[in-house]
Amino acid sequence: MPRQFPKITLSEVNEETRLLAEKVYASALKEEDTKDALSMFTVPEDCPIGLHQAKERELLKELAEQHSEESAKRKKSFKMIRSQSASFQGLQIPVTAEWARSVVTPFLSPSSTCSSLPENCPEYQRVTISGDYCAGVNVCPCPREGEDPYSMENIPDNLSYELQMKDGIVYVYENAEALSQNSPRSLPYPDLETFAIDLSHVLAMIVDGPTKTYCHRRLNFLASKFYLHEMLNEMAELKELKGVPHRDFYNVDTHIHAAACMSQKHLLNFIQTAYKMEADRVVLEKGGRKLTLREVFQHLNMDPYDLTVDSLDVHAGRQTFHRFDKFNSKYNPVGASELREIYLKTDNLIHGEYFARIIKEVSHDLEESKYQHAEPRLSIYGRSADEWDSLSKWFIQHKVHSTNMQWIIQVPRIYDIFKSKKLITNFAKMLENIFLPLFEATINPQKHKELHVFLKYVTGFDSVDDESKHSDHMFSYKSPKPEQWTEDENPPYSYYLFHMYANIMVLNNLRKERGLSTFQFRPHCGEAGSITHLVSAFLTADNISHGLNLKKSPVLQYLYYLAQVPIAMSPLSNNSLFLEYSKNPLREFLHKGLCVSLSTDDPMQFHYTKEALMEEYAIAAQLWKLSTCDEKKHFIGANYLKDGPEGNDIRRTNVAQIRMAYRHETLCNELSFLVDAVKTEEAIGTQPE
Per-residue pLDDT band for 30 (boundaries 50, 70, 90) equals low
Give the side-chain half-sphere CA count within 13 A for 459.
Answer: 20
Distances (CA, A) of 429 to 65, 167, 383, 415: 42, 11, 8, 10
Per-residue pLDDT band for 148 (boundaries 50, 70, 90) equals confident
Question: Which entry of 257, 546, 591, 664 is annotated as an active-site residue?
Answer: 546
DSSP assignments along 6-39, one per residue: ----GGGS-HHHHHHHHHHHHHHHHHTT-SSS--
d(CA 206, CA 532): 10
Higher per-residue pLDDT: 496 or 93: 496
Mean pLDDT of 501-512: 94
Query: Do residues 143 and 456 touch, judged by C-beta distance below 8 A?
Result: yes
Check pLDDT > 80 for residue 247: no
d(CA 158, CA 578): 48
Per-residue pLDDT band for 99 (boundaries 50, 70, 90) equals very low
Q: What is the pLDDT of residues 661-685, one digit of tens each?
A: 888 888 888 888 888 888 877 777 6
- pLDDT score, position 96: 38
Q: What is the pLDDT of residues 89-98, one digit of tens each?
A: 333 333 334 4
Mean pLDDT of 440-468: 94
- Kindly report the average pLDDT of the chain as a whole number: 79
Buried-exposed string 529-558: b where 16+ CB fall within 10 A, e elsewhere: bbbbbbbbbbbbbbbbbbbbbbbbbbbbbb
Mean pLDDT of 436-454: 96
Beta-carbon contacts of 89 under 8 Å, excluding residues fewer than 6 positions away, are: 107, 108, 109
Check pLDDT > 50 for residue 105: no
Check pLDDT > 90 for residue 327: no
- pLDDT score, position 106: 38
Per-residue pLDDT band for 476 (boundaries 50, 70, 90) equals confident
Tell me the whole-structure pTM to 2 decimals.
0.80
Beta-carbon contacts of 583 under 8 Å, excluding residues fewer than 6 positions away, are: none
Lowest mean per-residue pLDDT among 250-264, 428-442, 463-477: 463-477
Query: Do residues 162 and 175 touch, judged by C-beta distance below 8 A?
Result: yes
Catalytic: 401?
Answer: no
- pLDDT score, position 336: 85
Query: Do residues 250 and 301 touch, judged by C-beta distance below 8 A?
Result: no
Higher per-residue pLDDT: 23 or 527: 527
How is residue 582 annotated by DSSP?
Answer: G
